């Protein structure tokens, strides 16, 4: 049961501290907010762009110094407006909301991000507990210039037992092909204790099928159209779940038997459309 008096439900106006170009179509936007700095990897915030819209974004930075942030791909009106903002501009923030990725005793982990999906996974990869893990990161993009965070992850190398694999659809960097193909090959060859993923849903469906064959548990972050972000409006329905409230991070057991997963979603008018 949600308690709407909790601090995370109170919209805050924050000033953008920094805007970083990640790729020609993706920017990371940093701001200072005490609630967000208490967020957990995989949680999302609702970002209000004054006069335009309010949209869900995964926290891609959760700073202990209260600096947090989101990594945004330009898609439509709201994301283009957000990417056009500069340091000093103001936005609204609610949250962080939703379920989150958990890392326990498991020793050997596989983390797979497609496009900006790696943004939701970055705070997980940077958790102090990950230093003790045998970690494989697969990050995929359409082309070399759209790959994000390679330097951010490479900087972790000296501290961690970490393997970083990049894929591009056009072969301009790393392995040519889809991140999901590389993940499935890894799942067939090696035994992982947990697989985490965030990216296009067909990619996650392919990974789920492969992981289940190999008996590897998964945690996936899903996207749907979010309006309220707190379980009221139903625009984010997926089977019996409301993705904003019961997710966005789901286990494979929760997704088992959800026939819509990887196949259909609702558009902004609530109609069911193919993914």
In the complex, the residues that contact ligand FES under the rule CB under 6 A are 226-229, 231-236, 242, 244
Handedness of CA 71, 26, 72, 265 (dihedral sign): negative
Phi-psi region at 180: left, alpha or beta (left = phi > 0; alpha = psi -120 to 50): alpha
Question: What is the contact mask toward ligand FAD in residues 220 to 259, using x (rule: CB under 6 A)?
Answer: ---xxxx---------------------x-----------
What is the smallest separation between the CB atom of 228 and ligand FES, expressed in angstroms?
4
Residues between 173 and 212 that touch ligand FAD (CB under 6 A):
none
229 binds, among ligand FES, ligand FAD, none (CB under 5 to 8 A by kind): ligand FES
Q: Which of 149, 226 has the CB closer to ligand FES?
A: 226
Q: Which of 116, 235 has the CB closer to ligand FES?
A: 235
CA distance 20 to 65: 18
If binding is defined by CB under 6 A, does position 73 make contact with ligand FAD?
Answer: yes
What is the smallest separation between the CB atom of 237 and ligand FAD, expressed in angstroms?
12
If binding is defined by CB under 6 A, does position 57 make contact with ligand FAD?
Answer: yes
If binding is defined by CB under 6 A, does position 48 make contact with ligand FAD?
Answer: no
What is the smallest separation between the CB atom of 47 and ligand FAD, expressed in angstroms?
8
**CA of 249: how far to CAs of 66, 120, 197, in Å?**
23, 10, 9
What is the smallest separation between the CB atom of 147 and ligand FAD, expressed in angstroms?
15
Binding-site size, ligand FAD (CB under 6 A): 24
Q: Which stretch binds ligand FAD (CB under 6 A): 14-22, 54-62, 158-166, 203-211?
A: 54-62
Q: Which of 76, 234 has the CB closer to ligand FAD?
A: 76
User: Residue 113 corresponds to which tokens in the numbers above?
Assistant: 């991000």
228 binds, among ligand FES, ligand FAD, none (CB under 5 to 8 A by kind): ligand FES
Q: Which of 56, 174 has the CB closer to ligand FAD?
A: 56
Q: Which of 81, 233 has the CB closer to ligand FES?
A: 233
Place of tokens 């625009």: 235
* Closest CB to ligand FAD: residue number: 76
Q: Which of 100, 149 has the CB closer to ligand FES?
A: 100
Query: Per-residue DSSP letters for the chain?
Result: ---TTSGGGS-EEEEEEEEEEEETTEEEEEEE-TTGGG--TT-EEEEEETTTEEEEEEEEEE-TTSEEEEEEE--SHHHHHHHT--TT-EEEEEEEES------S--EEEEEEEGGGHHHHHHHHTSGGGGGSEEEEEEEESSGGG---HHHHHTTGGGSEEEEEEEETTSSSSEES-HHHHHHHHHHHS--SEEEEES-HHHHHHHHHHHHHTT--EEEE-----SSSSSSS-TTEETTEEHHHH-SEEEHHHHTT-TTTTTEEE-TTS-EEE-
Under the rule (CB under 6 A), what is the footprint of ligand FAD?
44, 53, 55-58, 60, 70-73, 75-79, 116, 119-120, 223-226, 248
């Amino acid at each position: 049961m949600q308690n709407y008096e909790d601090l995370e439900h109170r919209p805050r106006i924050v000033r953008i501290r920094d805007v970083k170009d990640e790729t020609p179509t993706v920017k990371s936007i940093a701001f200072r907010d005490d609630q967000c700095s208490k967020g957990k990897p995989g949680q999302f915030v609702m970002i209000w762009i004054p006069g335009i819209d309010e949209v869900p974004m995964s926290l891609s930075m959760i700073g202990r110094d209260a600096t947090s942030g989101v990594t945004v791909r330009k898609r439509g009106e709201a994301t283009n407006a957000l990417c056009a903002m500069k340091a000093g501009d103001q936005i609204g923030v609610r949250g962080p909301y939703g379920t989150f990725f958990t890392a326990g005793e498991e020793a050997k982990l596989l983390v797979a991000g497609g496009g900006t999906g790696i943004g939701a996974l970055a705070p997980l990869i940077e958790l102090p507990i990950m230093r003790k893990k045998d970690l494989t990161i697969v990050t995929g993009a359409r082309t070399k210039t759209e790959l994000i965070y390679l330097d951010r992850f490479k900087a972790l190398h000296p501290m961690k037992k970490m393997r970083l694999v990049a894929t591009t659809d056009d072969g301009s960097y790393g392995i040519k092909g889809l991140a999901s193909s590389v993940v499935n090959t890894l799942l067939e060859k090696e035994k992982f204790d947990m697989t985490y993923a965030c990216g296009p849903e067909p990619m996650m469906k392919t990974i789920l099928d492969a992981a289940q064959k190999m008996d590897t548990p998964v945690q996936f972050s899903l996207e749907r159209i979010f309006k309220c972000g707190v379980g009221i409006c139903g625009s984010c329905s997926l089977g019996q779940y409301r993705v904003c409230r019961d997710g966005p991070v789901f286990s494979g057991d929760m997704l088992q038997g959800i026939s819509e997963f990887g196949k259909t979603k609702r558009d902004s008018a609530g109609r069911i459309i193919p993914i």
